[in-house]
Structures are given as C-alpha cells and as structure tokens.
Chains A and B, each alone.
Chain A
Amino acid sequence: MDQTEAPFADILAFSDGLFTRDDAALADFGEAEALALLDSGEAILEAWLEAHDQVPTDKKVEGFRLLALHKQAARGNPSFNACRETCRELVYHYNLIVLEPSDVDRGQRIRLAAMVLKHLALFVGGKLEESGLGDFCCSSRPIRQTELLDPHQNV
C-alpha cells in the first residue's frame, strides 16, 4: 500500500501535509492556498471525466466549478453522487477559511478541509483503479449492463 503509487499522489501528499501542520504553521495560509484546495478538488474530478472521455466543463454551479464538475461526472452515473456532499463540504470549508480569516478555529478548518479533499482523492482514485473490474460502488450500475438486453423479457 504505497501511497506514492496511488492516483492523485501529489494531492494526497498536499492534504497530508496540511493535516499535520499546527495552528502556528498555518498562520500564513491565505486565500491563494485555500484556492489550491479547491483547484485540487477540481483536478480530481477533471481526471475522472477525462478518463471517461469527457471534456471537463468550465461552467460553475452555485459559483463553484467544483460543483459543476461533480454534476457533470454524476450525470448517468449515480454512484458518483456518493461524493456529492464531499465536494460540497470542500466548498463549505473553503468559504469558511476565506470569509472568516480571523476565526479562532481557522487552523482546524484548514486541517478538516484537507481531510475532506483527501477523501475525495481516495474515493475517486479508488473508482479509477477499479474501472477495469467494473463498478462496485453501493449504488452503482450493474457490471454487465452492456450485456443485458431486456432482463424482464424471460421472466
């Protein structure tokens, strides 16, 4: 289980690096760094879309491209909704970090945002690795969907 070989190794290293920093080390964490959290989230979803021969959208949903990318990725693929709230949590934490720079819990916000980003990377990375095997997600489509003609006709 070498994480450096996993998909999104750079993003996982980025999130782990943030998570292990204490408040003092996060004092200089500004809007640009917060934006890097969102950019990383977008990069994860872009990779998923490109792996499925789709062009990642430049549109925004509720002001965020990350949410538009999620919506695009989930279209026709219900299992991808399992990371919908993870994306929304990332946006929520980004807002808190940027809009409340004097929050006494700012360090904690940044660390939690890093963990949310990490979950997104692990979830999508896991799905990418498994794509050759079929989709094992709890709410996924059937593996042999393309082989199914009309499953009802012989009942």
Chain B
Amino acid sequence: MAEGKHKKVAYYPGCALEGTGHAYNRSTKAVGKKLGLDLVELENWNCCGAMEVKNVDPKIQTYLSARNLSIAEDMGFDTVMAPCNGCYHNLKKAEYDLEHDGKSVEVNARLSSKAGHTTYEAGKVETIHALDWIKDSVGEEGITERVKNSLKGLKVANYYGCMYTRPRHIFPEKDKGPGSESTSKPHFMDDLLAAAGAENVEYPLKTACCGGAHSLSDSDTSTKLVLNLLETAEACGADVIATECPTCHTGLEMHQVRAEKVLGRKTNVKVLYFTQLLGMAMGLSPNEVGVNENFSDSRDLIKEKGLA
C-alpha cells in the first residue's frame, strides 16, 4: 500500500468513543497529532445503528450510515475514518448495500429527501479503519522512525474481534495479496506494533467472538468467552492484549473482573488499545493516551517496560 495516503480524513468517532471507549478516542487523536495527521470530525454525525437496530430492520444501519457518509461528502472528504469496529462495519455495509441493492438506494434517496440532507451515492466516500489510516499514512517505517520508547520486551496478543473482517464481501479491499489486510489472518495491528518494537505472540483467537453482543442477554456466556480469550493470551505468553474495537475492549476489561468474581478465575494479562501502545512508544505519557481511563490497570506493567 502506498504510504502518504489519508493525511487528512473525516473522523467518525461514533457513540462508544464518546462513552466507554473514550480512551480510544483520546489515544487516536493524540497519535494522529503526533504523526502529523489531520482528523476532522464529522459535523452533527449520528449513531451508526450499532448492533441493536438490526433487530428492527437491518437496513436501518445502512440508512443511518449513509447519512454520515453524505456529511463527509458535503464536508469535501472522500475518506472517512472510523476506529470502532461496529461503526466501520456499518459504514462499509452501507457502501456495499448502496452499490448493490437497488431497493436500498431508492429508500435511502426518499429518507434523505425527507430529512433534507444530501443523498449519498455509492463510491463517493471510502470508509477506512484506524488501522488502515495509520498503515497507509505513515506505515511501519514511519512508526519506527518516531519511536522514542520502544515496546521491546512487551509481548502482545493482537485481538481484532469479529467485525473487522466480516462479512468478507463488504471489504473488497481486503485479501488482495501482499500489502493488503487479510480477513482470515489480519495483521495490520501486528505490523504497526512490531514496528514500534513489540513482540507479537501467535494468538489463535485473534478474530474469535468476544461475546460483546451477549453482554446484556447472557452475561455468563460473555464471561466464559472472554475468560477463554484472556487465558489463551496468557498461555501464548502475552503481557498485553492489544485491541482496536471499543466493544471488544470494554468486554475484555469488564468480564476479566467478572470472571474473577463469579468464576474465581484470575487472569493478569492487561488490555490496552493499540493506539495507546503506539502513543506511548512515540513518547506520549500514559495519561495523554488515556491509560488512566482504562478499567484494566496496566500502570505497573507500563512502568516496568519503561513506557512511562
């Protein structure tokens, strides 16, 4: 992939990054600033529909996301960056639906007209994830050049969750051979953290379900799934699980505590956003990347590894 792309993009934080995932918002912005990248937040953006609204009608995700894409277009952008897997997934789904489904195009046009905003047409705006954004704009070499506190000695299990790569058909840019992201063995986060000095462990559950959507309907299932993710990471020798999705991240943190309380199973692996790790590697303080906002207390590990 050509480096230097995406120096200035529209930014769609989504609802989670204003709440439970605020540390991800803070660290994404801080890393962007450190890298000399420009994020311009979408004006008056709306919820992407997340995971719940599809229980009314899955197309609502498409229409809600189409409005966000139209805002990016109106602001003069051809790229919108979404760090949350759920938002990223829904924006990509909207792009796909509006390119392939005539009924969606028709309903979106009617809704947009009623709401009084530009009707989004497929192909006008490309959605990227925060991983694409950093990988394409500065790349691994750009990260290595900027490292002040190497992540050397830090063993990381990279956890991508299930929505970053699924369903495959809405991610036409993936699986295009060398340089592109893989839907079966994603590696962009591994690449970026390795460039910052981290030692990535082989983690066999990097796209496995975290039980995020079960959290309210069946917390016990979520706790068991998360405990298995945590114990497997520890079995792989990881000090840290790096995340790139606020739902996964929050689930890992909360169910780590619940697993200890309810099942009596304590795990010590820490949970940090990949942007927090990159930020600290580039010399940002733990507070500047929101480590103090995390539920998972990694301060001792950060000190031990010389990142603070």
Contacts and interface: CB of A to CB of B under 8 A. Distances in A.
Interface of A: 1, 3, 6, 19, 78, 81-86, 88-89, 92-93, 108, 111-112, 115-116, 118-119, 122-123, 125-126, 129-130, 133-134, 136-144, 148, 151-152, 155
B225 A85 contact: no
Contact of A155 (B107, B207, B214, B223): B107
Interface residues of B, number: 44
A115 B231 contact: yes
B58 interface: yes
Nearest to A152: B107
B211 interface: yes
B268 interface: no
Contact of A19 (B107, B235, B263): B235
Contact of A151 (B59, B106, B208, B262): B59
Given A122-B224, A141-B54, 13 more contacts: A86-B209, A115-B231, A118-B228, A122-B228, A123-B209, A133-B217, A137-B209, A137-B214, A138-B86, A141-B58, A144-B56, A151-B57, A155-B111
Given A115-B231, A138-B213, A82 B166 contact: yes
Contact of A1 (B54, B106, B263): B263
Given A83-B208, A137-B213, A138-B213, A148 B57 contact: yes
Contact of B58 (A85, A136, A142): A142
A139 B235 contact: no
A111 B195 CA distance: 29
B163 A115 contact: no
B209 A115 contact: no
B55 interface: yes
Interface string B221-236: 1011100110110011
A89 B117 CA distance: 46
27 contacts: A1-B223, A81-B166, A83-B209, A84-B184, A85-B206, A89-B204, A108-B235, A112-B204, A112-B235, A115-B204, A115-B205, A115-B232, A116-B204, A118-B228, A119-B209, A119-B229, A126-B218, A130-B214, A130-B221, A136-B218, A138-B86, A138-B162, A139-B163, A144-B55, A144-B56, A151-B57, A151-B59
A82 B160 CA distance: 12
A88 B207 CA distance: 11
A123 to B, nearest CB: 5
Contacts of B58: 141-142
Most chain B CB neighbours (cut-off 10 Å) among A108, A115, A141, A143: A115
